[in-house]
Amino acid sequence: FEQQPLRVQINGVAQQLSVEPRVTLLDLLREQLNLNGTKKGCDHGQCGACTVHVDGQRVNSCLTLALTTEGCKVTTIEGMGSVEKLHPMQEAFIKHDGFQCGYCTPGQIMSAVACINEGHANSPDEVREYMSGNICRCGAYANIVEAIMEVKS
Q: Give me the residues that bind ligand FES (CB under 6 A), please.
A: 40-43, 45-50, 60, 62
CB of 50 to ligand FES, least distance (A): 3
Using CA atoms, how far apart are residues 39 and 75, in angstroms rounded to an integer? 14
Q: Could you tell me where the DSSP H helices lie in 73-104?
A: 88-95
CB of 92 to ligand FES, least distance (A): 23
Indicate the residue among 5 and 45 with the shorter CB distance to ligand FES.
Answer: 45
Indicate the residue among 16 and 34 with the shorter CB distance to ligand FES.
Answer: 34
* CB-CB contact of 66 with 57 (8 Å): no
Residue of minimal Cβ distance to ligand FES: 62
> Minimal CA–CA distance to 118: which of 69, 65, 53?
53
CB of 153 to ligand FES, least distance (A): 29
Largest CA distance in the chain: 49
Indicate the residue among 47 and 151 with the shorter CB distance to ligand FES.
Answer: 47
Indicate the residue among 26 and 92 with the shorter CB distance to ligand FES.
Answer: 26
CB of 128 to ligand FES, least distance (A): 18
Using CA atoms, how far apart are residues 47 and 29, in angstroms rounded to an integer? 18
CB of 69 to ligand FES, least distance (A): 15
Indicate the residue among 91 and 103 with the shorter CB distance to ligand FES.
Answer: 103
Helix (H) or strand (E) holding 8: strand 4-10
The C-alpha angle with vertex 95 and arms to 93 and 100, in degrees rounded to 5, equals: 55
